[in-house]
Amino acid sequence: MESDGDPYEREAQAAFARDEFPAYELLWHVYVVPLTNRPTSIDFKSDEELAEIGRGREDLCNAQLHYTVLRHLLRVFRLREADSLRDEDSFTEAIVRLSAVTDVADELLQRATTPGEYAAWEEGQAARKRWRKHNNNHLQHLRDYRNRLLHGRLLPHVEFHYNPEEEKIILVPVMGREGAYLDWRVKWDVANDFDDAHVIVDRAWREVLDYLAREWANTLMPRFGGRTCAAPKRG
């Protein structure tokens, strides 16, 4: 992927995918690359060319979902590395992107395990809802937090300046405690219910990457790659 991927894939591989999400590249090599005209072009094959190798539009849909996961992750990685999670907007975007990763991943996982049941060029919530119903609804706390950020009233936050240069962090409610502050008049338990926005995003990042590594290795590779790969261990 570092040599034959597009610019985003090459950046993501060097930045985090090689170490934190190696199953992404494994699946890319065995499943996605044959759908393209590499090494001549990164463009996807035509329907006729796909038929010649026993593939079709459903495979293209899966490849597009696979790529979408990486692009969301790359954006969150950039936000974290730039240390830009010091305002509400950047924090909200990071949470939204990570939550979107779970939406796209769960759709891909369900499509992979029930091929032929969902049209390639139709989108909706049916596939991801079915996956979650039968797989413990992993990471729902992240999606609930996202929903509060986007569909509810603003979360309370504390700006904290921690050096003479007036750099700041923002403290926001941790996941699971956001509902305690619907009434803005409630006394804030900052010591127990709030944390640095950067810490909250980093924690969510690790949870999401652990989930992806496990499901890519245990669910997608056996179906698309013909072999399994080990999920990375974290210290």
Report whether pLDDT(28) > 80.
Answer: yes
Confidence of residue 232 (pLDDT cuts 50, 70, 90): very low
Is 160 exposed, middle or buried, given 0-12, 13-18 or 19+ CB atoms closer than 10 A? Answer: middle
Confidence of residue 40 (pLDDT cuts 50, 70, 90): confident
The domains of the chain are located at 7-152+198-225
pLDDT at residue 39 in the model: 83
> How does DSSP classify residue 173?
E
Mean pLDDT of the chain: 91
Contact (CB, 8 A) for 211 and 184: no
- Strand ranges (E), 81-167: 158-161
pLDDT at residue 197 in the model: 94
Report whether pLDDT(222) > 70.
Answer: yes
Q: Which residues of 63-78 are buried (b: 16+ CB within 10 A; e: fewer)?
A: bebbbbbbebbbbbbe
Tell me how crowded residue 166 is: count the other CB atoms within 10 A of its CB. Answer: 7
Confidence of residue 87 (pLDDT cuts 50, 70, 90): confident
pLDDT at residue 32 in the model: 95
Q: Encode pLDDT of 109-128 as tens digits.
A: 999 999 999 999 999 999 99
Tell me how crowded residue 40 is: count the other CB atoms within 10 A of its CB. Answer: 7
Report whether pLDDT(106) > 70.
Answer: yes
pLDDT at residue 163 in the model: 65
CA distance 165 to 33: 49
Q: Phi and psi for 195 in degrees, rounded to 5?
A: -150, 165
pLDDT at residue 229 in the model: 38
Q: Encode pLDDT of 154-172 as tens digits.
A: 999 998 776 666 677 899 9
Report whether pLDDT(48) > 50.
Answer: yes
